[in-house]
Amino acid sequence: MARTKEFDEDEVLTKAICVFTSKGYNGTSAQDLVDQLGISRSSLYDTFGDKHGLFIRAINKYRAESTAEMIDFIERTGDAKKSIRHILQHALDDSVGNKLNGCLLVNSTIEMAAHDAEIAAISADNMRMVEDVLYHAIKKGQQDGQVSQEHSARSLARFFFNTLSGIRVTIKAGGDKKIYDDIIKVAISTL
């Protein structure tokens, strides 16, 4: 007779996101996971297969939640400039407050994409997803006259995805918040 799980998988994945964001994939040991997730080593392996399986599930949860949050905000505001400013500002505020941790997707792309095909594929898919979300907001803004048509919506979406990722990477090196406020101000001026 199979044992019933004594933990909530979603809660464990949320904790795993925090551990992997804080320590990175390579810096996280199986013991770290056992200690931080509050589950036994056997439960970890029975449920997720191994550390990599847990990591993939955690990064996919993080990606789905982050993208859903972004889409929800854009749909609620209906204003491309305000939405994009909010997304960039949120990344800045989150990264400044969490400088050593950063964004799980950006961190994982930097740490692993060059030698882990599955992470590279997830990163590339995430880039396309976020770019598409930004593209639709910008395209609608151009149609409504809120956003300049000097650049194509696709080019702007790529620019803003890169700006968003760049903010998250460069904040880890430090710098005054004013620097990043300037970056956002200049980026928004392209709209």
**Alpha-carbon span 179 to 30, nearest angstrom:** 38
Helix axes 51-77, 117-143, angle to 10 degrees: 0
If phi over 0 gives left and psi between -120 and 50 gives alpha, with beta otherwise, what is residue 19? alpha
2 lies in some domain: no
Instruction: Work out the pLDDT band at 4, boundaries 50, 70, 90.
Output: low
Give tens-digit pLDDT for 77-93.
889 999 999 999 888 87
4 lies in some domain: no
* Residue 8: predicted pLDDT: 87
Instruction: Work out the pLDDT band at 186, boundaries 50, 70, 90.
Output: very high
What is the rounded end-to-end Cα distance, in angstroms, of the chain?
A: 61
Q: Which domain holds residue 63?
A: 9-189
Give tens-digit pLDDT for 95-142.
666 555 778 999 999 999 999 999 999 999 999 999 999 999 999 999
- Which tokens sit at 43? 């439960």
Domain count, the chain: 1
1 lies in some domain: no
**Alpha-carbon span 148 to 40, nearest angstrom:** 55
* Residue 1: predicted pLDDT: 43
Q: Which residue has the higher pLDDT, 147 or 1?
A: 147
Give tens-digit pLDDT for 151-181.
999 999 999 999 999 988 888 777 777 888 8
Residues in the chain: 191
* Residue 97: predicted pLDDT: 61
63 lies in some domain: yes
Arithmetic mean of pLDDT, 177-186: 89
Give me the CATH number covering residue 153.
1.10.357.10
* Residue 188: predicted pLDDT: 94
- Which tokens sit at 85? 């400013």
45 lies in some domain: yes
Give tens-digit pLDDT for 19-70.
999 999 999 999 999 999 999 899 989 999 999 999 999 999 999 999 999 9
